Amino acid sequence: MKLLPILLPIVVQLIMRLLDKPKVLPPPAAGPLPPGMQIPGDEDIKAPVGKPPSASERGVPVRAELKCLWMQAQRSRFPEMYTSGNPFGLFDDDFKRAVLAGTKNLPNGSKLRFDMKAFDAQGRELLPDDVERLGYAGRVRWEIVCDGKLAWFEGDGRLIPDPGAAGQMVYGYSEGGDGFMGTGISNYSDTKGFCQVMKAFGEGRVDAVRAVVMDTQGNRVVQTNDLSFRVS
């Protein structure tokens, strides 16, 4: 009987612990969930009607800029320019900047490559897919003003085989006007007409080289800045 006072509290604590132990409930029976609680599967989600909008798609261009990527010396006049380190005979960037700034003249017979970029109202550059989607592919008008005389080269959006390179496609074009800057058929399909190569066939002042994005109705959508230089 002397152990009863000692064992009684221990027995009471064990009984209390058994009473406080949470019960394990059986899993719910299979069946439909209450309304509003259903978890949809792929088969329950319908595809959107039409093409969903893409954040990457650019809108109508509101600004365009023109840059000269390179200037190339005529091999017959400057054979020393063509080296293993400069196989294409390109003038360096300092010379190019000086020509565009008007502090140096471009040698007659040189070639230049111009590239245009167009931007929408949000400042995003149009990518080739955007140019195609908006209907501007191959519809770029290049204008060259030499000593006050306008010459132009304009793509019409039709893809045709390049007469000078088998297997290469270019956009159809028309040209006219007067001047000493010749234009090459460089409105290739991969650039969507946003580049042009020119060659100087005479001496004088190139008052302006510019590019204009045209729509399918022949309207001017946006025009680049002008670049000018002198040929001697």
Label residue 25 by pLDDT band (50, 70, 90). Answer: low
| Residues contacting 48, CB < 8 A, separation 6+ | none
Look at residue 11 in the predicted model and tell me its pLDDT: 59
| Residues contacting 223, CB < 8 A, separation 6+ | 64, 210, 211, 212, 213
Task: Indicate the pTM of the whole model.
Answer: 0.73
Residue-wise pLDDT tens digits, 133-153: 999 999 999 999 999 999 999
d(CA 209, CA 225): 8
AA identity, residue 156: D
E-state strands within the chain:
63-72, 111-119, 140-146, 149-161, 169-177, 181-183, 195-200, 204-214, 220-223, 227-231
Q: Are 66 and 213 in contact (CB under 8 A)?
A: no
Residue-wise pLDDT tens digits, 54-110: 556 788 999 999 999 999 999 999 999 999 999 999 999 999 999 999 999 999 999
Residue-wise pLDDT tens digits, 155-172: 999 988 887 777 888 888
Neighbouring C-alpha atoms within 13 Å toward the C-beta of 129: 4
Residue 50 has pLDDT above 70, yes or no: no
Residue-wise pLDDT tens digits, 168-221: 888 888 899 988 998 876 656 678 889 999 999 999 999 999 999 999 999 999
Degrees, nearest 5: CA angle 27-31-35: 110
